[in-house]
Structure 1
């Protein structure tokens, strides 16, 4: 009986891990879509190693996401102005509460968010 209770408890815990805590939408890569807030990072991090091991380049179209695999290409849409950009995930983050993606300065410029700093976005996987 204790063994059965242990198995049931493990199943319940694992079921809780299957939800996507980083925005709304599907958690499978092929159809990942989430809405939330985006911020950007640039000069202060330029040249430092990212979680993927490559050097951060503020002029490249890259981004940090908490869970998408490195190399995943996503389309980010600024919901304030409908501007979009395609970025490649090469880092982990953001670590600020309520944000779902950090984009490079170049991506932020294309999204028209440099002045605001933080904007509502939709993130959709392309891979």
Structure 2
């Protein structure tokens, strides 16, 4: 027996939960991927998504979205799903709130190595 092929791609990865953003003390520090964290870049930390994955993060309260590249691991607090750079947090309107509900959707898988 062979596998059934439908021609459909798998559904993209999605996740909903609480998002936060990096504290000022992380500016200029190395990330888990080896890059340097810069608050004005559109980057984020996620617990499991591969480095280089591009994720659309949406604030469901206002509908604003931003695309970020996963460059770090975290957040390291139970119940939180992503740590955004400050610029990403500004663009979706959560900067200054500390934490807020967000929705994630992978828009581009990490490059193959």
Query: What's the TM-score, normalizing by structure 1?
Result: 0.75
Provide the residue aligned with 1:87 in structure 2. 68
Cα RMSD between the aligned structures?
1.3
Compare CA radii of gyration and give the structure with the larger one: 1
What is the alpha-carbon distance in structure 2 between the residues aligned to residue 30 and residue 95 of structure 1?
Answer: 27
Q: CA deviation at 1:81?
A: 1.1
The structure with the largest helix share of the pair is: 1
What is the alpha-carbon distance in structure 1 between the residues aligned to residue 54 and residue 44 of structure 2?
Answer: 9
Provide the residue aligned with 1:49 in structure 2. 30
The change in CA–CA distance for 1:65 and 1:125 in structure 2 (over 3 A counts) is same
Relative contact order, higher structure (CA 8 A, sep 6+): 2
What is the alpha-carbon distance in structure 2 between the residues aligned to residue 66 and residue 85 of structure 1?
Answer: 19
Question: Unpaired segments of 5 or more residues in structure 1?
Answer: 1-28
Provide the residue aligned with 2:98 in structure 1. 117
Question: Unpaired segments of 5 or more residues in structure 2?
Answer: 1-9, 109-113
Provide the residue aligned with 2:53 in structure 1. 72
Alignment of 1:34 with 2:34, yes or no, is no
Structure 1 residue ranges (4+ consecutive) displaced by more than 4 angstroms after TM superposition:
none
The change in CA–CA distance for 1:30 and 1:72 in structure 2 (over 3 A counts) is farther
Q: CA deviation at 1:42?
A: 4.1
Q: CA deviation at 1:117?
A: 1.5
